[in-house]
Amino acid sequence: MKAKTQTARKAGRIRRAVQVFFFVLIAAISVNHGLEEAGKSIPWLSSASLHSVCPFGGVVSIYQFFVTGTFVKKIHESSMVLMAIVFGLALFFGPVFCGWICPFGAFQEWLGGIGKKIFGKRYNAFIPRKLDSVLRYARYLLLAQVIYMTARSGVLVFADADPYYALFNFWTGEVAVMGYVFLGATFLLSFFVERPFCKYACPYGAVLGLTNLFRVFGIKRNGSTCISCKACDRACPMNIEVSGAGTVRNHQCISCMKCTSEQACPVADTVVLGVGKFPVSRTPAETGDGTAAVADK
């Protein structure tokens, strides 16, 4: 048990280190962009705007790029490159960008840590399940609207309401009122709900979430060794019922790995990231022919 705890802590520390690294990197790039506009900059650090280093910019630019060969205003070719890299990772491992890299996702998660200390078990359980299950599809409606309006106007329509942009530029005076509103709402809700923007409003999370349906390496649960303790369910920040799945195909999974046997699950090799299906041993009574058998579940 001690070794298990140490492994879980190590896995958690690695993920936290990755999150902190990208948060600091994006913050530094944002500051450097402001310095460049003032005639100063750090030579070895990118001075690109946040829109240029956001892979979602590539998503909303696809239509215009293939029709006219140009990018949506404020978007750079770097966004297309980043989009390709993130999609490549997602095809194999799911939305690891959301669970490990996205600075705004990490920001919400850190605020949620405070919420957990305040509300304990009530945290992340304030919204009724039926309402929650409906609200989770709101981000797809927002995604469709953003892509449609951007394709028609050639302007990044979500920019003025983007809380991610507002977080890293609140000090510049370039943030629109709606950006502050969305940022403030996300800030407050994060004390009650885990990753509220990710769950209900993030258009890029909606895109990457679809890769959970066909990703190569999935989160898998071994039913033959599962003890139904539901520790995986309690650990999931997105409220996914991992204990009822063979392979997690939920569009909200962010590949954070919190549910796995390396972190939450107390039984080794029961909830893992892998390919294929678990072999499930059956007793002679279950096979009905007096012999043991092995089958895929």
Kindly state the DSSP code that residue 247 receives in the 8-state scheme. B
Mean pLDDT of 13-40: 85
Q: Give the count of alpha carbons within 13 A of 236, CB side only.
A: 21
**The pLDDT of residue 150 is above 80:** no
Residue type, 60: V
Q: How far is CA 2 from CA 5, 7, 27, 231, in A?
A: 5, 9, 37, 17
pLDDT at 73: 54
> For the chain, what percent of residues have pLDDT higher than 90?
55
Range from 31-45, 194-208, 236-250 carrying the lowest mean pLDDT: 31-45
Distance, in Å, from the CA atom of 93 to the CA atom of 215, rounded to the nearest integer, reads 6
Q: ∠ at Cα 201 (250, 91), nearest 5°? A: 40
Confidence of residue 293 (pLDDT cuts 50, 70, 90): very low
> For the chain, what percent of residues have pLDDT higher than 70?
74
List the beta bridge partners of residue 218.
Answer: 274
pLDDT 10s digits, 43-92: 656 556 666 666 665 555 554 555 555 555 555 566 677 778 888 999 99
pLDDT at 49: 67
pLDDT at 7: 62
pLDDT 10s digits, 180-217: 999 999 999 999 999 999 999 998 899 999 999 999 99
List the beta bridge partners of residue 294.
Answer: 281
* Selection from 65, 98, 76 nearest residue 203 by Cα: 98
Mean pLDDT of the chain: 82
What's the start-to-end Cα distance of the chain, in Å? 28
Distance, in Å, from the CA atom of 145 to the CA atom of 149, rounded to the nearest integer, reads 6
Kindly state the DSSP code that residue 126 receives in the 8-state scheme. -
Distance, in Å, from the CA atom of 280 to the CA atom of 271, rounded to the nearest integer, reads 14
